[in-house]
Amino acid sequence: MLRDAAAIALACGVVGASFGAVALAAGLPIPAIVAMSTLVFAGGSQFMAVGLIAAGSPLAAVFAGLLLNARHLPFGLALGDTLGQRWRDRLLGSHLMTDESTAFALAQPDPAGRRRVFWLTGIPIFLAWNIGTVLGVLLATRVGDPTRLGVDAAFPAGLLALLLPSLRSAETRRVALVGAAVALVATPLLPAGLPVLLALAGLGVLLLPRPRREPAC
Amino acid sequence: MLIAVILALALGTYAFRLAGVVLRDRLVLPDEVSRLLPMAAATLLAALAATAALTEAGAFAGVARPVGVLVGAVLAWRRAPFVVVVVAAAGTAALLRLLGVP
């Protein structure tokens, strides 16, 4: 268990470092980058926000980021008894809630195990994410022009890597692919930020009649 | 402006997190909503990845970047570690640019 926690924290540190580098390349001031990792502490929405802020649409950044993080509400419902009744634990634990710490905790069979594993993964992930962000910023300030190093290609590739586990569900994959196509077609036509939000139209796929044979994965 | 964006995102995100923990006895999300939220998240991220990979300021982003992303995507699909995906994507794009590919 400790080995798993260390491995996941290390992985989060690396993603955090790439966030720091990407955010700096996008032109965000360093204090803003560090504040984002500490205060928001939700990787996907941070990448999303940086992308949309850089594109010049801060409102879309907030809206898309919050929509992305709305999934923490059901996480909290599921974790309720794991965090217990003490307000200190609830207030602190809520901030440590991530896809990873939630998944690890809920994989435990008994409440005591869930509680222990939640903190055991949540705290290291928080530390690694923030240390990673600072290291990423420091590294990026040393290398000069980020485009020459291909940072612009690293950003979407990293997003895809984060996204792939959820795309292994056929239904999610169909919705996401249609949404991405809608966003691409809309990009030359609409102001920055809107195409990504318009991708939610992809959820309309769910209203279509289901294909007769669902693929196995 | 930037600080307002960060604070709004931070406070909103924390509210979602805490609300679930606090309301757990009083709130039952409809199954449909619990099913749709992760899908909506995946869709937004997919759209961001696609537009960031292929477009720049509303126009086509050239060749080096999409090819780099493609290399990263294939590696990610083959379950390569995150670092490998990111470094391979950046390295491919950087190498192509070094060779004069836009």
3-state class (DSSP) for residue A84: coil
Size of interface A-B (CB pairs under 8 A): 292
Q: How far is A26 from chain B (nearest CA, A)?
A: 12
Computed over every residue of chain A, the mean pLDDT equals: 89
pLDDT band at B5 (very low <50, low <70, confident <90, very high): very high
Please, where are the H alpha helices in A109-206?
111-143, 151-167, 170-186, 194-198
End-to-end C-alpha distance for chain B, whole angstroms: 34
Secondary element (H or E) of residue B59: strand B59-60
3-state class (DSSP) for residue B60: strand
Q: What is the ipTM of this complex?
A: 0.87
User: How many angstroms separate the CA atoms of B2 and B7, rounded?
Assistant: 9
For chain A, the domains span 2-148, 168-217
Report the 10 Å Cβ neighbour count for A201. 17
Secondary element (H or E) of residue B56: strand B55-56
Q: pLDDT tens digits, residue range A88-130?
A: 999 999 999 998 899 889 888 888 999 999 999 999 999 999 9
* Cβ-Cβ contacts under 8 Å, A97 against chain B: 17
Q: What is the pLDDT, as a whole number, of residue A185? A: 95
Long-range residue pairs from A78-87, CB within 8 A, at least 24 positions apart, any chain: A78/A102, A78/A106, A78/B20, A79/A105, A79/A106, A79/A114, A79/A118, A79/B20, A79/B21, A80/B20, A80/B21, A80/B24, A80/B25, A81/A111, A81/B24, A82/A106, A82/A111, A82/A114, A82/A115, A82/A118, A83/A115, A83/A118, A83/B21, A84/A115
Are residues A91 and B18, on separate chains, in Cβ contact within 8 Å?
yes
Q: How far is A103 from chain B (nearest CA, A)?
A: 13
Across the interface, of B1, B9, B41, the residue whose CB is closest to A49 is B9
Q: pLDDT tens digits, residue range A169-208?
A: 999 999 999 999 999 999 999 887 889 999 999 999 998 8
